[in-house]
Amino acid sequence: MLRTASRRRLTMLTAASLMTIGLVATQAGAALPSKTVPPKQWAKKVCPALRDFNDDFQAIDTELANATTAAEAQGFIVAGLDETMATVEDSASAIKAAGTPDSKKGKKAAKALNTAMANVDDILLGAQVLVADLAVEDLDQFADEASGIQDQAIDELGTEFANFAEVDTKLFNTIGKHPDCATL
């Protein structure tokens, strides 16, 4: 069985990533739609897509709680990241379809979020590759190394999130008030 401390470290990996990734992942795709929509309407379309992404990401934590070995934990993380990346693509499409928020810097903010979402996928893929390459003979060693990978990913995701927040604080606050985004 996973030792409590190791399980706690793996659980913290996922929980911390959820908060960071969930707030970062809010736009993707190549060209932005030309239509503009009020920020609250935009949030109504963006936040459910984020919730879906967040739910899939949280499922990794649920599966990790069932892991009894490092190999199982590794398998849960790798498979969970596959599912999460698929949801990133679906969420990105839905968010892109939401249009461009009608705010002072809405177009610039949407572009920043477009870039962020593409980067989220790259960050998750990079983390997945690193986790897949970890040795699975020792649970504590695996948990320590996986924590390091998560810390790196969280730093990268935090940078993406900060870029959006800096572009349009008012829009960022509007999104944060939507029930589906407030829980992220």
Write the pLDDT tens digit of every residue in 74-110.
999 999 999 999 998 888 888 788 889 998 898 888 7
Tell me how far apart the alpha carbons of residues 84 and 60 are, in angstroms, rounded to a whole number. 9
How many domains does one find in the chain? 1
Is residue 65 in some structural domain? yes
107: exposed, middle or buried (C-beta count within 10 Å: 0-12, 13-18, 19+)? middle
Tell me how far apart the alpha carbons of residues 12 and 3 are, in angstroms, rounded to a whole number. 14
DSSP run (H or E) holding 101: strand 100-101
Single-letter amino acid code for the residue at 8 = R
Q: What is the pLDDT of residue 180?
A: 87
Is residue 171 in some structural domain? yes
pLDDT band at 34 (very low <50, low <70, confident <90, very high): low
Q: Considering only CA atoms, which of 55, 51, 52, 41 is closest in space to residue 98?
A: 41
- Structural domain of residue 164, as residue ranges? 4-24+35-182
Residue 44: CB atoms within 10 A of its CB come to 15
Is residue 29 in some structural domain? no
Is residue 110 in some structural domain? yes
pLDDT band at 16 (very low <50, low <70, confident <90, very high): very low
Q: Give the HSE-up count for residue 13: Cα atoms under 13 Å, Cβ half-sphere.
A: 33
This prediction's pTM: 0.74
What is the DSSP secondary structure assignment for residue 35, as one 8-state letter? -
Tell me how far apart the alpha carbons of residues 139 and 2 are, in angstroms, rounded to a whole number. 7
Residues 6+ apart with CB under 8 A from 175: 26, 39, 42, 43, 46, 47, 181
pLDDT band at 25 (very low <50, low <70, confident <90, very high): very low
Is residue 16 in some structural domain? yes
Q: What is the pLDDT of residue 3?
A: 46
Q: What is the pLDDT of residue 162?
A: 79
Each residue of 105-133: pLDDT tens digit? Answer: 988 887 887 788 788 889 999 999 999 99
Each residue of 147-183: pLDDT tens digit? Answer: 888 888 878 878 886 777 788 888 888 888 989 888 7
Single-letter amino acid code for the residue at 39 = P
Is residue 43 in some structural domain? yes
